Structure 1
Amino acid sequence: MTTAVRTPPHHNTLTCYTDYQCRRPECVDRYNARNRERLQAQKAGTWTGLIDAEPVRQHILQLGAIGISPSDIAATADTSIQSVLEFIRPVRGRGRRHRTSPAMAARILAVGPDNVVRAVVDATATQRRLQALAALGWPMKRTALHAGLSTTNITGILTRSRVTAATEQAIADAYDQMRRQRPENHRVSRGQAKKTRRRAAAARWPKPSYWDQHPDGLGDPHFQPLYKVTPGELVAEDARWLLNGGVSLEHVAERLDKTTDYITQVLRQYPGGTA
């Protein structure tokens, strides 16, 4: 069995040598130079195991300039957000970090635009998965439990614009499993399931089968799901938009190939349109 050779994200830190077995001459020289510094410091009795943190600080600032946040860096480097922030500003009354371990430096310096893991993402797909499961009768607190998330603020996700990448993945995994299960067979009472389905129907939350037909729309905040929208509602929506733009009722009817009486009727029947 062969082992795939990983390509290093860049060649300006020790990571390419230690983690990716890169043996470019300049990378070998950098590794050997760092080892010589360590041996000399150990011989002089000044070795603390820590190195200058300024290259790490500059790297974090450079990443920030291209839109990679400290949260993203922390997620990619598998460390805490506080550990990243300490390199660029005082945190909790302590001064900015001036020295760090070689391992920490290597992890942060390895983060780049090609391998960054976004810590926070758009919430649209997560919201629609929660709603789709609710349309099947799954209360959101039950979905949270299944996903290993706190039940306290799960419904708050519906009003947020962003969620953590970890939350998005947890809900996506739960969605793939729960959509094929009947809530009543998994500790959800008939009354709970019925109430949840009724609420979802009133809000016109599409079921998973709808998103199967519109997979590109699931995570697109600009995609408007026309779920169980009647032809009359669509006409009312278009008519209202034209009327608000100053078009007369007669010209609206002509454009939509309807009678003025029909336009008036659907506007009265659907005063809120499809929004």
Structure 2
Amino acid sequence: MSNRPHGYARYRLGGCRCYVCALARSDYDDNRNRAIAYGTWQPWVSAEPVRIHIRSLQACDMGLRTIAAAASIDRKRLQAIVTGRSERGTGPQEKVRPALAAAVLAVEPTLDNLGGSTVIDGTGTTRRLQALVAVGWPQDHLGHAIGVTPGNFSRIIKAPTVIVRTARAVRDLYDAYWRADPLEHGASRGGITYAKRRAEQARWAPVGAWDDDTIDDPASFPDWTGRCGTPEGYVAHEQHKIPYCQPCRDARAALRREQRQQARQAAAA
């Protein structure tokens, strides 16, 4: 679990979805959207929302130089907004042009602009690796592809946190391998069979169970059947001998409670 304090950075990098972190993300979005909207008509806008945004990005381990590069703005202009211009002895800048505000507010922490050693939530990374194993990719083959030892790979595939450099490597590997045939890339038939058996025993969801929009979200569940989270999904698990997922168990339990309630009402009538 992340050691960051609860707030925007922990929501984005630590995967925390508690009330405090979710509220911080909501406030962040409200501040950003409101500032962008104001920038569409005012010749000058307050620098405060931009300053808050920069500090939020810094809390995610993004330095001013990185933020400036992502926004295509000179770093000194951001420095003037955050702390002022020391050579002029002035305090933080109070007003900025709308174009500058919009450029800075458009920057968000992503795998492509965070520092390589930044520690982030490992949910998406572990799910991608486990999904590849589930469709037959041997673990030693995957470990070699991202440049880690078998021991480190065994840790990464179940790690609650990873560094950005590893997450990038796994993301790129997943994008390249998820539709590929392991046999055509040097994996043996025995290795493929063993990988699938290992994933089945560990109940690792395969590639088809994840959407790109949900695979990184710690609160999401794999859709094993295409109807998971419904009573029909529960039946599909049973028919295809797929291990039951929690959303389908919950849907089945809800249906049974409803049926019992209906039975009681019918008996009373």
What TM-score, normalized by structure 2, do the two folds share?
0.46
Q: Which structure's CA Rg is the greater one?
A: 1
RCO greater where, 1 or 2, for CA within 8 Å and sep 6 or more? 2
